[in-house]
């Protein structure tokens, strides 16, 4: 039996645990840290539900429960604190994104994991999804030549989640670059084979999503009213936000995320181009296309298998975590990837707030 210790047994980590157990039934949750024991216990796999012990802290979970691996699934603002504590345990870790919400937290993680003896699997399902992997293989094989430009879009069809659930609390999320673009900056950097080094960003807040408590009559048809979502002054999630990206290779990119689109208007994917070709993919269309620029060449179209959580990424993450715990593989989404993405997101937020280009802090210690 492989014993899992989980910190924050909420909705997201319960689906990851399910995928880990589906991959290898030898994995069992045996210890949990979560102040809401009642709700957490209901989410536990049935086989473990009555046996699992709850602990008041990560230290006591590790000392008394002796797990073989840890998973951190709290809300965003607590990831870094627990990840720093987990570094000292020497145990493999599955860590939810965004792995930090402030520069101070991110630097703390970088210091803590510098000499750590174990590996982290950061929860970036898009990077390991079928479509992204197929794109990566083609790009590395030279399908477009040297990548010069990346264009990525994210028209979110379920953006209400960021205004009517706990995500509306800006103090917890730190805004939607950290919450959402952390995935996109990660996969773009992965495909470009290069970190993002400079960002210029803009955002719109409070034009569409407005605080209902401040406007109880709610009369404007172009406005969506939600309770207690803050204001641009107190801090609030964006209606939309965009960033110009410069990569260390010299490639340039642009990314846009929009949170009021609904239904079939959804889009998430990228177009990468170089002198020799253009590669496009979209997760909702579940399609990848490579168009060579040479005259008379036939474009390639590819459709990966459909119908998986996060476009197949969650199952791959769970399998990779299981392999890391058993010492059979290296992490495909290491702590460095989580940090690089957080530094880029923080630069984007700062740029949007100040109207200036912002250099992205680079990971040096790992």
Ligand X SMILES: NC(=O)c1ccc[n+]([C@@H]2O[C@H](COP(=O)([O-])OP(=O)(O)OC[C@H]3O[C@@H](n4cnc5c(N)ncnc54)[C@H](O)[C@@H]3O)[C@@H](O)[C@H]2O)c1
Kindly list the distances between the CA atom of residue 366 and the CA atoms of 96, 103, 113, 302, in Å, as whole numbers in the listed order: 19, 16, 7, 36
Q: Residue holding tokens 């995500």? A: 167
Angstrom distance (rounded) from CA 221 to CA 166: 25
Residue 300 or 309 having the CB closest to ligand X: 309
Q: Does 159 bind ligand X (CB under 6 A)?
A: no
Q: How would DSSP label each residue in 40-74? A: HHHHS-TTTTTTPEE-SSHHHHHHHH--SEEEE-S
Q: Are 146 and 274 in contact (CB under 8 A)?
A: yes
CA distance linking residue 159 with residue 165, whole number of Å: 10
| Closer of 4 and 33 to ligand X (Cβ) | 33
- Tokens at residue 22, please? 């589906």
Interface with ligand X (CB under 6 A), residue from 7, 251, 290, 337: 7
Judged by CB under 6 A, the chain residues 104 through 123 that form the site for ligand X are 123
- Each residue 160-179 as x (binds ligand X by CB under 6 A) or -, in order, gives ------x-------------
Q: Which tokens belong to 132?
A: 């992204």
Residue 212: alpha-carbon gap to chain centroid? 29
Subset of 33-62 contacting ligand X (CB under 6 A): 33-36, 39-40
CA–CA dist 288, 298 (Å, integer): 14
Instruction: Tell me which residues in 269-308 interact with ligand X (CB under 6 A).
Output: none
Q: In this complex, which beta carbon is closest to ligand X, that of residue 76 or of residue 197?
A: 76
In this chain, which stretch among 9-17, 100-108, 239-247, 296-304 interacts with ligand X, using CB under 6 A? Answer: 9-17
Contacts of residue 239, Cβ cutoff 8 Å, sequence gap at least 6? 204, 205, 206, 207, 208, 209, 258, 259, 260
When asked if residue 74 is in the footprint of ligand X (CB under 6 A), the reply is yes
CB of 345 to ligand X, least distance (A): 12
Number of residues that bind ligand X (CB under 6 A): 23
Least Å from the CB of residue 100 to ligand X:
11
- Calpha distance 147→90 (Å, rounded): 38
State which residue has the least CB distance to ligand X.
10
When asked if residue 97 is in the footprint of ligand X (CB under 6 A), the reply is: yes
Q: Which of 12, 41, 252, 336 binds ligand X (CB under 6 A)?
A: 12
Give 147 or 229: the residue with its C-beta nearer to ligand X.
Answer: 229
Q: Would you tell me which residues interact with ligand X (CB under 6 A)?
A: 7-12, 33-36, 39-40, 73-76, 78, 96-97, 123, 125, 166, 310
């Amino acid at each position: 039996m492989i014993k899992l210790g989980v910190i924050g047994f909420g909705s997201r980590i319960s689906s990851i645990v399910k995928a880990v157990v589906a991959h290898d039934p030898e994995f069992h949750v045996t210890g949990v840290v979560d102040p809401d024991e009642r709700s957490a216990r209901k989410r536990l796999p049935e086989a473990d539900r009555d046996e699992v012990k709850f602990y008041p802290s990560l230290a006591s979970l590790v000392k008394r429960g002796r797990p073989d691996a840890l998973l951190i699934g709290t809300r965003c603002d607590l990831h870094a604190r627990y990840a720093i504590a987990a570094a000292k345990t020497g145990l493999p870790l599955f860590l939810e994104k965004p792995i930090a919400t402030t520069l101070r937290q991110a630097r703390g993680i970088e210091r803590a994991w510098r000499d750590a003896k174990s590996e982290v699997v950061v929860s970036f399902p898009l990077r390991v999804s079928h479509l992204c992997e197929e794109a990566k293989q083609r790009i590395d094989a030279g399908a477009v030549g040297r990548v010069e430009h990346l264009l990525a879009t994210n028209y979110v069809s379920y953006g209400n989640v960021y205004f009517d659930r706990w995500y509306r609390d800006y103090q917890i999320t730190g805004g939607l670059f950290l919450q959402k673009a952390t995935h996109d900056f990660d996969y773009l950097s992965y495909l470009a084979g290069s970190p993002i080094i400079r960002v210029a960003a803009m955002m719109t807040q409070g034009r569409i999503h407005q605080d209902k408590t401040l406007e109880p009559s709610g009369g404007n048809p172009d406005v969506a009213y939600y309770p207690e979502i803050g204001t641009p002054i107190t801090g609030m999630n964006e209606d939309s936000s965009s960033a110009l990206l410069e990569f260390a290779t010299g490639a340039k990119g642009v990314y846009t995320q929009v949170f009021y689109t609904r239904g079939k208007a959804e889009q998430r994917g990228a177009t990468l181009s170089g002198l020799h070709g253009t590669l496009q993919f979209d997760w909702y269309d579940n399609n990848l296309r490579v168009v060579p620029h040479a005259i008379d060449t036939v474009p390639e179209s590819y459709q990966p298998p459909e119908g998986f959580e996060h476009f197949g990424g969650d199952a791959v993450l769970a399998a990779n975590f299981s392999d890391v715990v058993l010492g059979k593989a290296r992490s495909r989404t290491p702590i460095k990837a989580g940090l690089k993405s957080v530094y880029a997101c923080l630069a984007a937020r700062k740029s949007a707030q100040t109207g200036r280009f912002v250099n992205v802090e680079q990971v040096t210690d790992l």
